[in-house]
């Protein structure tokens, strides 16, 4: 019996025969995540139903020295849950219980396979909700959110997953079950919970999550403003922030994105406007009303051509449907697309967008933009047609756009993660010592390199012997910050 | 407070080095590594007494020369500074903006790096968190002279591991925090505090009722027989919310201006403590407050030790100050109260102690299940265990 067959039997003994998948056709279901361009068939998939089972499964992999990859709903967009050939996928889909909603302490305890939206639904009876709201919230799991430190449209005001997770129960790569963090944000010693949030499943398998719940705001006010140019929409965003207003969300869509979204869901956006800006304020009613006036004035000062104010929840939901559908709707206007997730300082949004447009024109490819304007998180969608041999050109453009964001003083990724997709671009953003230090952290957790190997940090196998030269951070180049 | 450690180092003739930029800091750390020197990282010295006492060291690295304002981008609401800059000094240079942190040590000169390494926070923590939540980029120098950066200059960023989190609460044992990039928030147009007199159980009940309403207080703290409820926002917005909160409480005094400042300063005074006090901080599930307060009362029935407890009620962060009495009494209270907190799944960090306490009781409670992991991290970051030796003993070296 080979090592995998042996492990298969061990895993069957832990989770029962129905919890282990080894049929090649069934394994194919797990060959990729939301970034379907990368595919690897795993040797086994295991579906544990409890923390104890996860711990036993991981311990068994550790004993056999076989790599494993945790998987939630597989909606990740960076190849984070991409299986390792000859490795095991640990699917958390059977662990979907909301274990506790505690209105007094404003928190919930959930299993990792619970969807993001299910938490807010469970909390809703108490007028509470879970703040981070990725567009994929109906399907993506809290375990995946923790791994990616996921964001959403409302993160400008409320922060990301890391600001809303109090504690994690996690299985370390040797099978030890531990709690990280605590019932209060005050814990003794280094913040291990914070380190694991955003580590893309490379440090531990999360088996329970304690999340903070927020009181639902008294009021929510939403508007959709059209602008004659993306620049004017971006300037509006800057103006609002400069006025000291912190909206819950500020989202921009360009004309291509609107076209796609309208074709898919018809939310009533203006088809021929070059840019649309969704602004949402929430909070105490009086204050919200006051600031909503301020925001409209700033829109007018920047030349808005039309403001549509959501009169009720239904209309508000419609505006958001238009925004949230933009991604998935790209299929309506292009057979294929790549999506990027780079971040630029808010003040460089205009520059970034015009450079991206020029790069698109040069490559003869269309680029649609729909993005979290308040925090400078772009989502350029490079549209292409595989059948016309545009794949490689589009991929190159897409990568160049991510790296442009770093050049402008930003980041390769705001929320989708590095995963497999951008690991080889990491040397554009980080120096050798930075990456080596991150690797030290990884090895402290996982000295044998079994936990989601090949993700986040570049490896020679993945990226070639030399992971590319380090390019100094622009602030470093300008002498503002120093490497040394 | 901190003077004990600094005095001790001085008495032992431990040399101090004071780098004034990242390059010098790197060179000094590298030099210390080459000669195998044990290093005490020292900012303004306002929290040198946190955790367990540091053992013998060969050199003190004073970070306060790393005090440059490296880049301030008001429109992006970010600022990059040397980690040795005091947060109070930084605050003065910001225009209509703030680092939304109000830890009690800030007016004493606490440095940005020190505030990150201690994960310290004040009442605003309930809304804005600690520096772990406000730092968006960090540059550290490891024990062997490795200079490593994580994060960056944008508020949203998931590229790579977040070393900020690892260094948050590390108390100078994993490396030197040399540079920090912070996210800023707008200064509020208006603030006001409602002070409601009550005992701690009633305070907790009232806080719970308040938090069930959409009034969004920024801070909610119990201190010296009053629940303090602070609001920030627009002038008219704050006025409206205060009015609603008063109606809900059916009693209480609205404080603004100097009166408001004074009441929060008094709270900070408890947290900072004075010479000869023992101060500890605990984190627990918020609803344990009444039980923990009662336990503290029971442990301090004697005449000599006076215990003062203050708590950020919504998030379960409690600070206890013991004043007066003998070391043995402080030790008994610490041990007794800590075991109650730990049994309830919480944590306790000692901030300062009455002289003689260390002979009677350990600074840290029983080791957490993560101790082997902490040890592994320590080994990877500081292989020869030369930084702040003993600070986390016996959890790790
Ligand atoms: C249409 C669409 C819209 C999206 N919109 C957003 C958005 O607005 N904001 C945003 O941030 N993201 C967005 N995403 C990306 C994606 O939904 C998030 O990254 C999400 O958090 C992934 O969750 P998942 O359960 O699908 O995780 P998976 O894709 O299954 O896994 C993602 C990563 O998490 C790890 N992982 C999963 N579960 C665990 C666990 N229990 N323990 C340890 N590691 C684990 C995996 O190993 C992998 O590295 C979107 C994706 C799609 C397809």
- Whether residue A193 sits in one domain with residue A86: no
State both tokens at B83: 């980690």
Q: Do B129 and A409 touch (CB under 8 A)?
A: no
Please check whether residue A237 lies inside any domain of the structure. Answer: yes
Question: CB-CB: which of B153, B171, B240 is closest to A284?
Answer: B240
- The full length of chain A comes to 484
Q: What is the pLDDT of residue A479?
A: 55
Residues A186, B288: Cα–Cα separation, whole Å: 14
Please check whether residue A473 lies inside any domain of the structure. Answer: no
DSSP string covering A290-328, please? HHHHHHHHHHHHTT-SEEEE--SHHHHHHHHHHHHTTTG
Which residue is closest to A475 within chain B, CA to CA? B71
Q: What is the pLDDT of residue B89?
A: 98
Burial label for A225, CB within 10 Å (0-12, 13-18, 19+), is buried
Residue B292 Cα to ligand 1 middle (Å): 39
> Do the Cβ atoms of B165 and A195 come closer than 8 Å?
yes
Please check whether residue A262 lies inside any domain of the structure. Answer: yes
Among A57, A76, A159, residue to substitute to test ligand 1 (most atoms within 8 Å of Cβ): A76
- Whether residue A357 sits in one domain with residue A309: no
**Residue numbers in B near A215 (CB within 8 A):** 211-214, 216
Q: Is the CB of A327 under 6 A from ligand 1?
A: yes
User: What homologous superfamily is domain B273-359 in, according to CATH?
Assistant: Ribosomal protein S10 (3.30.70.600)
Residues A363, B199: Cα–Cα separation, whole Å: 70
Please check whether residue A170 lies inside any domain of the structure. Answer: yes
> Do the Cβ atoms of A319 and A326 come closer than 8 Å?
no
**Closest by CA position to B382, among listed B136, B166, B116:** B166
- Whether residue A319 sits in one domain with residue A283: yes
- Give yes or no for residue A62 having a pLDDT over 90: yes
- Whether residue A162 sits in one domain with residue A82: no
- Whether residue A435 sits in one domain with residue A410: yes
Q: Is the CB of A152 under 6 A from ligand 1?
A: yes
Beta bridge mates, A249: A280
Q: What is the CATH number of the domain that holds A207?
A: 3.30.465.10
Ligand 1 atom at minimum distance from A146 CA: 21
- Would the CATH topology of B65-186 be identical to that of B190-262? no
> Do the Cβ atoms of B357 and B305 come closer than 8 Å?
no
> Do the Cβ atoms of A264 and A202 come closer than 8 Å?
no
Tell me how many domains chain A contains. 4
pLDDT band at A467, cuts 50/70/90? very low
Please check whether residue A471 lies inside any domain of the structure. Answer: no
pLDDT band at A481, cuts 50/70/90? low
Residues A401, A390: Cα–Cα separation, whole Å: 16
Q: What is the pLDDT of residue B302?
A: 78
From first to last of its 397 residues, chain B has per-residue pLDDT tens of: 344 565 666 666 899 999 999 999 999 999 999 999 999 999 999 999 999 999 999 999 999 999 999 999 999 999 999 999 999 999 999 999 999 999 999 999 999 999 999 999 999 999 999 999 999 999 999 999 999 999 999 999 999 999 999 999 999 999 999 999 999 999 999 999 999 999 999 999 999 999 999 999 999 999 999 999 999 999 999 999 999 999 999 889 999 999 999 999 999 999 999 999 999 999 999 999 999 999 999 999 877 999 999 999 999 999 999 999 999 999 999 999 999 999 999 999 999 999 999 999 999 999 999 999 999 999 999 999 999 999 999 999 8
Instruction: Round the average pLDDT of chain A to a whole number and report it.
Output: 94
Q: What is the CATH number of the domain that holds A426?
A: 3.30.70.2740
- Whether residue A459 sits in one domain with residue A396: yes
Lowest mean pLDDT among A381-385, A476-480, B45-49: A476-480
Higher pLDDT, A219 or A468: A219
- Whether residue A177 sits in one domain with residue A133: yes
- Whether residue A339 sits in one domain with residue A324: no
Q: What is the CATH number of the domain that holds A10?
A: 3.30.43.10
- Give yes or no for residue A90 having a pLDDT over 60: yes
Q: What is the pLDDT of residue B4?
A: 54
Q: What is the pLDDT of residue A426?
A: 96
Residues B206, B381: Cα–Cα separation, whole Å: 46
Domain ranges of chain B: 65-186, 190-262, 273-359
Give the domain B190-262 fold. Alpha-Beta Plaits (3.30.70)
Residues B334, B323: Cα–Cα separation, whole Å: 12
Q: What is the pLDDT of residue A480?
A: 52
Q: Do A437 and B142 touch (CB under 8 A)?
A: yes
User: Chain-centre distance of CA A77, in angstroms?
Assistant: 7
- Whether residue A148 sits in one domain with residue A160: yes
Q: What is the pLDDT of residue B64?
A: 98
- Whether residue A243 sits in one domain with residue A123: no
Please check whether residue A86 lies inside any domain of the structure. Answer: yes
The distance of A367 to chain B (nearest Cα, Å) reads 22
Residue with tokens 């102690």: B353
Q: Do A190 and B187 touch (CB under 8 A)?
A: no
Q: Is the CB of A48 under 6 A from ligand 1?
A: no
Last residue of a domain, one of A187, A215, A243: A215
H helix count then E strand count, chain A:
17, 18
Q: Is the CB of A473 under 6 A from ligand 1?
A: no
Residue B179 Cα to ligand 1 middle (Å): 31
Q: Is the CB of A71 under 6 A from ligand 1?
A: yes
Last residue of a domain, one of A46, A68, A91: A91
Please check whether residue A75 lies inside any domain of the structure. Answer: yes
Range of the domain at A314: 219-329
DSSP-derived letter for residue A473 is P
- Which whole number is the average pLDDT over A79-103? 97
- Whether residue A315 sits in one domain with residue A350: no
Q: What is the pLDDT of residue B1?
A: 39
The distance of B342 to chain A (nearest Cα, Å) reads 11
- Which whole number is the average pLDDT over A268-284? 97
- Give yes or no for residue A147 having a pLDDT over 80: yes
Q: Is the peptide bond before B394 cis (omega within 30 degrees of 0)?
A: yes
The distance of B343 to chain A (nearest Cα, Å) reads 13
Q: What is the CATH number of domain B65-186?
A: 3.30.465.10
Q: What is the pLDDT of residue A364?
A: 97
Question: CB-CB: which of A345, A436, A442 is closest to B76?
Answer: A345
- Whether residue A446 sits in one domain with residue A373: yes
């Amino acid at each position: 019996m080979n090592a995998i067959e042996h492990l298969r039997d061990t895993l069957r003994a832990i989770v029962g025969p129905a919890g282990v998948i080894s049929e090649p056709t069934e394994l194919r279901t797990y060959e990729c995540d939301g970034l379907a361009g990368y595919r690897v068939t795993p040797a086994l998939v295991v579906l544990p139903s409890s923390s104890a089972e996860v711990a036993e499964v991981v311990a068994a992999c550790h004993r056999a020295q076989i790599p494993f990859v945790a998987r939630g709903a597989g909606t990740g967009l960076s190849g984070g849950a991409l299986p390792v050939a000859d490795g095991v996928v640990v699917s958390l889909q059977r662990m979907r219980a909301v274990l506790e909603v505690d209105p007094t302490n404003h928190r919930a305890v959930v299993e990792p396979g619970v969807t993001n939206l299910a938490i807010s639904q469970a909390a809703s009876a108490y007028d509470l909700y879970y703040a981070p709201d990725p567009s994929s919230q109906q399907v993506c799991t809290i375990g995946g959110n923790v791994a990616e430190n996921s964001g959403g449209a409302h993160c400008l005001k409320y922060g990301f997953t890391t600001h809303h997770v109090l504690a994690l129960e996690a299985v370390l790569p040797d099978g030890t079950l531990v709690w990280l963090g605590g019932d209060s944000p005050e814990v003794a010693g280094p913040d291990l919970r914070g380190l694991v949030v955003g580590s893309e499943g490379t440090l531990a398998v999360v088996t329970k999550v304690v999340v903070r719940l927020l009181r639902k705001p008294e009021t929510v006010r939403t508007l959709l403003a059209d602008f004659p140019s993306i620049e004017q929409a971006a300037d509006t965003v800057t103006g609002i922030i400069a006025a000291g207003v912190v909206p819950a969300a500020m989202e921009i869509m360009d004309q291509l994105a609107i076209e796609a979204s309208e074709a898919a869901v018809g939310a009533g956006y203006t088809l021929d406007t070059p840019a649309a800006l969704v602004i949402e304020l929430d909070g105490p009613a009086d204050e919200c009303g006051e600031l909503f006036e301020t925001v409209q004035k700033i829109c007018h000062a920047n030349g808005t051509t039309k403001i549509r104010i959501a009169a009720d929840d239904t209309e508000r939901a419609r505006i958001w449907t238009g925004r949230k559908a933009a991604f998935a709707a790209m299929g309506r206007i292009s057979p294929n697309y790549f999506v990027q997730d780079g971040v630029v300082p808010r003040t460089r949004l205009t520059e970034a967008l015009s450079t991206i447009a020029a790069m698109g024109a040069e490559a003869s490819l269309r680029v649609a933009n729909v993005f979290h304007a308040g925090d400078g998180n772009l989502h350029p969608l490079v549209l292409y047609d595989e059948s016309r041999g545009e794949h490689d050109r589009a991929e190159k453009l897409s990568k160049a756009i991510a790296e442009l964001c770093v050049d402008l003083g930003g980041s390769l990724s705001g929320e989708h993660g590095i995963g497999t997709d951008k690991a080889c671009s990491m040397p554009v953003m980080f120096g050798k010592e930075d990456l080596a230090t991150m690797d030290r952290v990884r090895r402290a957790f996982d000295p044998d390199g079994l936990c989601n190997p090949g993700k986040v940090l570049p490896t020679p196998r993945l990226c070639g012997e030399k992971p590319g030269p380090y390019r100094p951070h622009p602030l470093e180049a300008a002498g503002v910050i120093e490497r040394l | 407070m901190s003077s004990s450690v600094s005095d001790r180092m001085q008495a032992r003739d431990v040399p101090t080095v004071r780098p004034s930029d990242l390059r010098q800091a790197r060179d000094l750390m590298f030099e210390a590594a080459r000669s195998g020197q044990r290093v005490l990282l020292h900012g303004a010295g306002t929290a040198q007494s946190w955790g367990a006492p540091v053992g013998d060291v060969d050199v003190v690295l004073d970070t306060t020369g790393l005090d440059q304002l490296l880049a301030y981008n008001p429109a992006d609401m970010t600022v990059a500074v040397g980690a040795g800059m005091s947060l109070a000094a930084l605050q003065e240079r910001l225009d209509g903006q703030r680092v939304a942190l109000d830890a009690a040590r800030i007016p004493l000169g606490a440095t940005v790096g020190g505030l990150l390494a201690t994960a310290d926070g004040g009442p605003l923590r309930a809304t804005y968190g600690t520096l772990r939540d406000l730092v968006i980029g960090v540059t550290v120098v490891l024990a062997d002279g490795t200079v490593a950066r994580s994060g960056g200059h944008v508020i949203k960023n998931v590229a790579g591991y977040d070393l900020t989190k690892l260094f948050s609460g590390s108390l100078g044992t994993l490396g030197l925090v040399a540079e920090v990039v912070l996210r800023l928030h707008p200064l509020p147009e208006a603030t006001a505090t409602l002070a409601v007199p009550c005992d701690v159980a009633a305070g907790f009940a009232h806080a719970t009722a308040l938090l069930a309403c959409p009034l969004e207080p920024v801070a909610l703290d119990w201190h010296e027989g009053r629940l303090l409820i602070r609001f920030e926002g627009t002038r008219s917005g704050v006025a409206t919310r205060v009015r609603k909160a008063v109606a809900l409480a059916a009693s209480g005094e609205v404080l603004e201006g100097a009166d408001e400042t004074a009441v929060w300063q008094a709270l900070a005074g408890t947290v900072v403590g004075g010479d000869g006090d023992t101060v500890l901080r605990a984190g627990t599930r918020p609803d344990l407050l009444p039980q923990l307060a009662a336990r503290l009362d029971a442990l301090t029935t004697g005449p000599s030790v006076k215990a003062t407890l203050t708590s950020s009620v919504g998030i379960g962060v409690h600070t206890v100050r013991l004043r007066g009495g003998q070391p043995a009494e402080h030790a008994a209270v610490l041990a007794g109260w800590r075991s109650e907190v730990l049994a309830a799944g919480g944590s306790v960090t000692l901030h300062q102690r009455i002289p003689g306490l260390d002979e009677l009781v350990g600074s840290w409670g029983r080791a957490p299940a993560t101790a082997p992991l902490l040890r592994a991290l320590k080994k990877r970051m500081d292989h020869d265990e030369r930084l702040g030796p003993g600070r986390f003993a016996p959890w790790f070296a």
